[in-house]
Structure formats: C-alpha cells, structure tokens
Amino acid sequence: MKRFVAPLALLASLTGSSLASAQALFNDSVALPFTGFSNYIQLVDLDHDGDLDIIAPNCSGFIGTGAQAFEVYRNDGTGSFADYGFPLAGTKAVRQVATGDIDGDGDNDVVVPDAGGGS
C-alpha cells in the first residue's frame, strides 16, 4: 500500500491546481437525426477532408427483430453533419464497428460484424 501513496500524492500535487482551473473545450452542440440510440460510436475521417465523421451502428434500438440502422454522418467542416449514404442491407444486430487501414491503401476501412446471423 505504501508504494502507491507516494506516486498518488505526487500526481495530486502536480494536477490539483490545473484541474481546478480547467475550462470546457466544447461550447456548441450538434443534433444528429439518429432514429434511436447507438452503443458504440466511432469518429474517423472517412473522406480525407481532415474532419472527423461519425459512424453510429445500431441506431434504431439495441434489440430488434428486423434490420437495424447503421448510420454514417459526414462532417462538412462547419459543425454540420449529413447522411453519408452508407447502406448496409440485411444487418440485424450490429453492436460495434472497427476502423483502420486494413488493406494498406491509405484509406480508413470499416469492419462491421453482425451479431444477428450474418457477417
């Protein structure tokens, strides 16, 4: 226990004054037209414009019997987001999404597992 007290005390002394004077970095909010909720949102630059776009799987509800939404919103750089038009037909239970350059071509790729039966 004693070996954890000294680093914790040092951390508290170094950050105490800076935490007290911290200010919010976000002032504006943006409303998105989700049809429900998402449990795993990714922010990634899909169109190489330097702005983070939004990938929101499973927006129509966490559990459903039919196909559920997989929505992608493009950031236009002004704080507005537009539907990216990313159709993903036949998905039933998209819970998560992963992004990265899988094939090494410099583009962000999107991997979407479907827990509802397909992949």
Task: Tell me the β-bridge partners of 83.
Answer: 73
pTM: predicted TM-score of the whole model, two decimal places: 0.62
Tally helices (H) and strands (E) across the chain.
1, 6
Model confidence pLDDT, tens digit, residues 13-46: 544 544 445 554 555 666 666 666 677 888 999 8
